[in-house]
C-alpha cells in the first residue's frame, strides 16, 4: 500500500494548495511537507520492492464501462521511483526558502503549488502504469502540469515562448509514443503491457515501433536534434522545478524507452543500438560544446543536461548492441552504466540547479559575467556547488566518475564484436565521450571560477548571502549523496543487478569486497573507490598543512601587484566567462557561428557575442517561418462570406458521397 501513499500524498499537496489559498504560510508548510512525505514513501517503497525483487500488480476499476486502471511495481520501476523520491524529498526542504525569497503574488504561488503536486504525482503514475491508457493519461498529465510550471513567470515574453515550444514538443512526444504503442496493440489486440510480452512482430514492424518510440521518448529526454525546448524551458521555470524537470522528468523518459525496448518488444536488433549510440554521442558532444559558451547559468545547466542524457543513451546503445550480438554480460554492464548515470545526473544536476536558484534569489543574477566573489558571500552554497561541479565533471571520488567509468568499461570491450564497422563505431563513440568529459571539466571550472572566485562584478551580487537552513539542508543532502554513491558503488551495483536480471536475464559477477568494484573480472580492471577517496582526503589534508606550515615560516613582505600602469586592479580586469571559453570557441568556430557586437561609449568599448543554436537556427526556425507562411495562405479560406462557407460544405458533401459510392 506504500505505493499508493506516495501518490496520494503528492496529489493531496496539490489539492490542499487550493483549499489553503487564503492562508499562505500554512499553505506553504503543508504543501511542501506533503511533498516530502510523498518522496519518503516513494524511496521506501522503491527500496523494498527493488531489494526484494518484488513484482506487485493492482487493478482499479473505473466508473466508466470497460475501463480498468492497471498498475504494477517491478525492479525497473522501483529504481526510478527511488530516483524521483530522492529529488522530491530535497525539493520539499528547498522549496519553502526559495518561495519566501521570490516575492511572488499569492495567486501565482497557489498555482505553482497545485501544479507541482500534480507534476510529481503524474511522474509516479507513469512509473506505475501497466497499460496504455494509464501510461498515456499519466504522461499527458505530466506534460500539461509541467507546462504550467514552465510558464509560471508568464509576465516575460521569453518565458511564454519557451513554454509554448515546450508544450508543442511535449505533445509531439506523446503522439509518437502513442503511435509506437498502437503497433503493439494492432498485433496483440490488447492495451495491457502484460499481454505484449512475447508478441510476434516482423523485423520491419519491430524496427518501426522502436524508432517511433525512440523519437517520442528522445524528444522528452532532450536528445539532439529534439532538444530545442530544453535550454528554453529550464531557465524559464523556478529553480526547484528545473531540478525536477532536468533531474527527474528526463529520467522518466529514459525509463519509458528502457521499458518499451528491453521488455515490451520481443527481439533486439543491433541497428537499434548503433542508432542509439550515435544519437547519444552526438547529443553529448553538442550539449557540452554549447554549455561551454553560455553566459546564463541555467542555460549552462540545461545544455549540460543534453550532454548527460547523451551519455545515458550511449550506454543504452552499447547495451542494445551487445544484447543483440549475444553478449549478455556486457549488455548488463551497459544497462547498469545507463541506470547509474541516470541516478547520478539526478543528484548533481538538482544540486546545481538548487545552487543556481540560490544565486538568482539572493544575488539576483543569472548572468555569469555579472557574478564573482560569491565564495565569500555564500560559503555554504559555494562548497555544495563545488561538489556538484566535481561530480558533473566525472572526477573521483564523487558519483559522476563511477557511472562514466562503467560506460568506458563497456566500450573497451569493443574488440569482442565481430563486425569491424561496429568495433570502429564503438571506439569512436568512446573517444568522443572522453572528449566531452574533458570539456565538462573545463566548462565547470569556468562556471565555478567566474561565479564564486575573484571579485564581484556587479553591485547586486555584493548583497548576496547564504540561504536559510532548509535550502542549505537540501543542497547538503544531495552533496552527501554524490559522495556516498561515489565511494560506495558496489552496493548500488548489487541493487542494479536486480534490474539487469529482470531485463537481460544476466547479472554482473558478485563483488568480492565492498572496497573494490570489478565490473567484469579483476584481470581487466577494477576501481577501489573507498581507498581512492581516503587517499584524496589524506593527500589534501597533508598538502594543506604543508602549505600552511611553509606560509607561517616564510618571511612575507606585502607589496601591491603590478597593475600595468592602469591605476589599480579592479573587477573589470578579471577573466570573464566569454574570455575563458574563447579557445574552444575558436576551435569550433564554424560549429558555433558566433555573432559579435561592439558598442562604443565615451570612455569604454563593450564587446558582446551571441551564440546561436545550430539546429534551432537551420531546422526549427525555417520550419516555424514555413508554418506561419502556410497559415497565412490558409487564412484566405476564412473570408467571412457565408456563401463561400456554404460552397465549402457543398463541395465536401459531394466528395463524401462520391467516396462512399466509389469505395463503399
What's this model's pTM, rounded to 2 decimal places? 0.91
Q: pLDDT digits over 613-629, tens only? A: 778 888 888 888 888 88
Residues 6+ apart with CB under 8 A from 29: 96
Separation of alpha carbons 348 and 399, rounded Å: 9
The more confidently predicted of residues 63 and 303 is 303
Query: How does residue 277 score in pLDDT terms, banded at 50, 70 and 90?
Result: very high
Separation of alpha carbons 235 and 241, rounded Å: 10
Separation of alpha carbons 566 and 35, rounded Å: 55
Separation of alpha carbons 117 and 13, rounded Å: 6
Element (H, E) at 112: helix 106-128
**pLDDT at residue 460 tops 70:** yes
Cβ pair 267, 209 in contact under 8 A: no
Give the lowest-confidence range in 9-23, 225-239, 528-542: 528-542
Q: pLDDT digits over 35-45, tens only? A: 999 999 999 99
Separation of alpha carbons 568 and 301, rounded Å: 35
Q: How many other C-beta atoms can be found within 10 angstroms of the C-beta atom of residue 78?
A: 28
Give the lowest-confidence range in 207-216, 253-262, 445-454, 547-556: 547-556
What DSSP letter does each residue of 49-80 carry, written as one string? HHHTT--EEEEEE-SSTT-EEEEEE-HHHHHH
What DSSP letter does each residue of 309-364 carry, written as one string? HHHHHHHHHHHHHHHHTT-HHHHHHHHHHHHHHHHHHHHHHHHHHHHHHHHHHHH-
Query: How does residue 581 score in pLDDT terms, banded at 50, 70 and 90?
Result: confident
Q: pLDDT over 70 for what percent of the chain?
A: 91
Instruction: Report pLDDT for 431.
Output: 92
> Per-residue pLDDT averaged across 244-256, rounded?
92
CA 399 and chain centroid, separation? 16
Q: Of 153-157, 260-264, 581-585, which one has max mean pLDDT?
A: 260-264
CA atoms within 13 A on the CB side of 147: 17
**pLDDT at residue 433 tops 90:** yes
291: nearest Cα among 357, 347, 246, 344: 246
Q: pLDDT digits over 278-293, tens only? A: 999 999 999 998 888 8
The more confidently predicted of residues 586 and 34 is 34
Separation of alpha carbons 530 and 516, rounded Å: 8
**pLDDT at residue 223 tops 80:** yes
For residue 630, give Cα distances in angstroms to 93, 622, 623, 636.
Answer: 49, 12, 10, 11
Instruction: Report pLDDT for 58.
Output: 80
Q: pLDDT digits over 338-368, tens only? A: 999 999 999 999 999 999 999 988 888 888 8
Query: How does residue 651 score in pLDDT terms, banded at 50, 70 and 90?
Result: confident
Ramachandran angles phi, psi of 566, nearest 5°: -90, 0
Separation of alpha carbons 41 and 128, rounded Å: 14
Residue 95: strand, helix, or coil: helix
Query: How does residue 111 score in pLDDT terms, banded at 50, 70 and 90?
Result: confident
Separation of alpha carbons 640 and 632, rounded Å: 15
Separation of alpha carbons 254 and 231, rounded Å: 19
Instruction: Report pLDDT for 350.
Output: 93
Q: ω into residue 325 within 30 of 0, thus cis?
A: no
> Per-residue pLDDT averaged across 496-510, rounded?
88
Cβ pair 398, 387 in contact under 8 A: yes
The more confidently predicted of residues 101 and 73 is 73
470: nearest Cα among 28, 6, 82: 28
Instruction: Report pLDDT for 567.
Output: 61
> Per-residue pLDDT averaged across 568-582, rounded?
72
Ramachandran angles phi, psi of 217, nearest 5°: -75, -35
Residue 301: strand, helix, or coil: helix
**pLDDT at residue 156 tops 70:** yes
> Per-residue pLDDT averaged across 514-519, rounded?
73
Separation of alpha carbons 594 and 611, rounded Å: 5
Separation of alpha carbons 491 and 514, rounded Å: 7
Query: How does residue 258 score in pLDDT terms, banded at 50, 70 and 90?
Result: very high
Separation of alpha carbons 348 and 392, rounded Å: 6
Q: ω into residue 397 within 30 of 0, thus cis?
A: yes
Separation of alpha carbons 319 and 272, rounded Å: 10
Query: How does residue 499 score in pLDDT terms, banded at 50, 70 and 90?
Result: very high
| Mean pLDDT of the residues in the chain | 85
Q: What share of the chain is helix, strand, coil (3-state, %, to 5)?
A: 75, 5, 20
Instruction: Report pLDDT for 555.
Output: 66
Instruction: Report pLDDT for 107.
Output: 74
Domain ranges, ordered by start, for the chain: 614-663
Cβ pair 188, 196 in contact under 8 A: yes
Instruction: Report pLDDT for 66.
Output: 64
Query: How does residue 565 score in pLDDT terms, banded at 50, 70 and 90?
Result: low
Instruction: Report pLDDT for 549.
Output: 76
Q: What angle do CA 296, 300, 302 make, to 5 degrees?
A: 115
Cβ pair 287, 304 in contact under 8 A: yes
**pLDDT at residue 515 tops 70:** yes
Q: What angle do CA 534, 536, 538 make, to 5 degrees?
A: 70
Query: Rounded to a whole number, what is the largest CA-CA distance in the chain?
Result: 104
Residues 6+ apart with CB under 8 A from 87: 39, 243, 244, 247, 248, 346, 347, 350
Instruction: Report pLDDT for 180.
Output: 92
Q: Is 342 exposed, middle or buried (0-12, 13-18, 19+ CB in 10 A)?
A: buried
**pLDDT at residue 507 tops 90:** no
End-to-end CA distance of the chain, in Å? 53
Instruction: Report pLDDT for 383.
Output: 93
Amino acid at each position: 500500500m506504500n505505493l499508493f501513499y506516495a501518490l496520494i500524498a503528492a496529489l493531496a499537496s496539490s489539492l490542499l494548495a487550493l483549499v489553503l489559498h487564503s492562508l499562505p504560510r500554512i499553505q506553504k508548510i503543508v504543501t511542501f511537507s506533503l511533498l516530502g512525505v510523498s518522496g519518503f514513501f516513494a524511496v521506501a517503497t522503491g527500496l523494498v520492492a527493488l531489494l526484494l525483487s518484488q513484482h506487485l500488480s493492482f487493478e482499479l476499476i473505473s466508473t466508466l464501462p470497460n475501463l480498468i486502471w492497471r498498475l504494477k511495481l517491478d525492479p525497473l520501476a522501483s529504481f526510478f521511483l527511488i530516483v524521483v523520491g530522492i529529488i522530491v524529498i530535497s525539493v520539499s526542504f528547498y522549496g519553502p526558502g526559495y518561495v519566501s525569497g521570490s516575492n511572488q503574488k499569492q495567486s501565482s504561488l497557489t498555482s505553482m503549488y497545485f501544479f507541482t503536486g500534480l507534476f510529481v504525482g503524474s511522474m509516479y503514475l507513469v512509473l506505475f502504469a501497466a497499460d496504455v491508457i494509464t501510461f498515456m493519461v499519466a504522461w499527458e498529465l505530466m506534460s500539461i502540469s509541467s507546462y504550467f510550471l514552465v510558464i509560471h513567470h508568464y509576465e516575460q515574453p521569453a518565458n511564454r515562448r519557451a513554454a509554448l515550444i515546450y508544450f508543442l514538443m511535449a505533445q509531439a512526444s506523446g503522439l509518437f509514443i502513442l503511435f509506437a504503442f498502437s503497433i503493439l496493440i494492432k498485433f496483440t489486440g490488447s492495451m495491457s503491457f502484460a499481454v505484449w510480452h512475447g508478441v510476434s512482430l516482423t523485423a520491419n514492424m519491430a524496427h518501426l515501433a522502436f524508432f517511433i518510440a525512440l523519437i517520442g521518448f528522445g524528444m522528452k529526454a532532450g536528445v539532439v536534434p529534439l532538444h530545442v525546448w530544453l535550454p528554453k524551458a529550464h531557465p524559464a521555470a523556478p529553480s526547484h522545478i528545473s531540478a525536477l524537470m532536468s533531474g527527474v522528468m528526463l529520467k522518466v523518459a529514459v525509463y519509458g524507452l528502457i521499458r518499451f525496448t528491453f521488455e515490451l518488444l520481443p527481439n533486439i536488433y543491433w541497428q537499434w543500438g548503433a542508432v542509439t549510440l550515435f544519437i547519444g554521442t552526438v547529443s553529448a558532444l553538442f550539449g557540452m560544446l554549447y554549455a561551454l559558451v553560455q553566459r546564463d547559468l541555467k542555460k549552462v545547466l540545461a545544455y549540460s543536461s543534453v550532454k548527460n542524457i547523451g551519455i545515458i543513451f550511449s550506454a543504452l546503445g552499447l547495451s542494445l548492441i551487445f544484447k543483440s550480438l549475444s553478449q549478455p554480460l556486457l549488455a548488463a554492464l551497459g544497462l547498469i552504466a545507463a541506470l547509474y548515470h541516470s541516478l547520478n545526473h539526478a543528484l548533481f544536476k538538482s544540486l546545481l540547479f538548487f545552487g543556481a536558484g540560490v544565486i538568482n534569489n539572493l544575488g539576483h543574477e543569472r548572468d555569469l559575467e555579472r557574478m564573482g566573489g560569491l565564495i565569500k558571500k555564500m560559503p555554504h552554497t559555494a562548497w555544495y556547488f563545488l561538489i556538484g561541479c566535481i561530480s558533473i565533471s566525472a572526477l573521483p571520488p564523487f558519483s559522476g566518475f563511477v557511472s562514466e567509468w562503467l560506460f568506458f568499461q563497456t566500450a573497451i570491450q569493443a574488440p569482442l564484436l565481430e563486425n569491424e564497422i561496429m568495433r570502429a563505431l564503438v571506439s569512436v563513440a568512446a573517444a568522443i565521450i572522453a572528449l566531452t568529459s574533458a570539456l565538462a571539466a573545463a566548462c565547470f571550472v569556468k562556471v565555478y571560477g567566474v561565479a564564486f572566485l575573484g571579485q564581484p562584478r556587479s553591485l547586486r551580487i555584493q548583497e548576496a548571502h547564504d540561504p536559510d537552513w532548509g535550502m542549505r539542508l537540501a543542497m547538503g543532502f544531495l552533496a552527501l549523496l554524490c559522495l556516498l554513491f561515489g565511494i560506495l558503488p558496489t552496493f548500488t551495483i548489487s541493487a542494479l543487478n536486480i534490474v539487469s536480471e529482470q531485463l537481460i536475464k544476466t547479472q554482473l559477477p558478485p563483488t568480492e569486497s565492498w572496497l573494490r568494484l570489478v565490473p567484469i573480472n579483476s584481470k581487466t580492471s577494477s576501481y577501489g573507490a573507498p581507498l581512492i577517496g581516503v587517499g584524496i582526503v589524506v593527500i589534501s589534508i597533508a598538502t594543506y598543512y604543508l602549505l600552511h606550515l611553509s606560509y607561517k615560516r616564510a618571511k612575507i613582505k606585502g607589496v601591491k601587484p603590478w597593475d600595468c600602469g592602469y591605476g589599480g586592479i579592479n573587477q573589470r580586469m578579471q577573466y570573464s566567462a566569454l574570455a575563458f571559453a574563447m579557445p574552444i570557441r575558436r576551435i569550433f568556430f564554424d560549429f558555433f557561428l558566433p555573432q559579435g557586437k561592439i558598442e562604443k561609449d565615451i570612455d569604454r568599448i563593450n564587446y558582446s557575442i551571441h551564440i546561436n543554436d545550430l539546429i534551432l537556427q537551420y531546422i526549427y526556425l525555417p520550419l516555424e517561418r514555413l508554418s506561419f507562411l502556410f497559415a497565412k495562405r490558409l487564412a484566405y479560406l476564412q473570408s467571412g462570406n457565408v456563401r463561400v462557407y456554404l460552397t465549402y460544405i457543398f463541395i465536401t458533401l459531394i466528395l463524401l458521397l462520391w467516396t462512399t459510392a466509389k469505395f463503399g
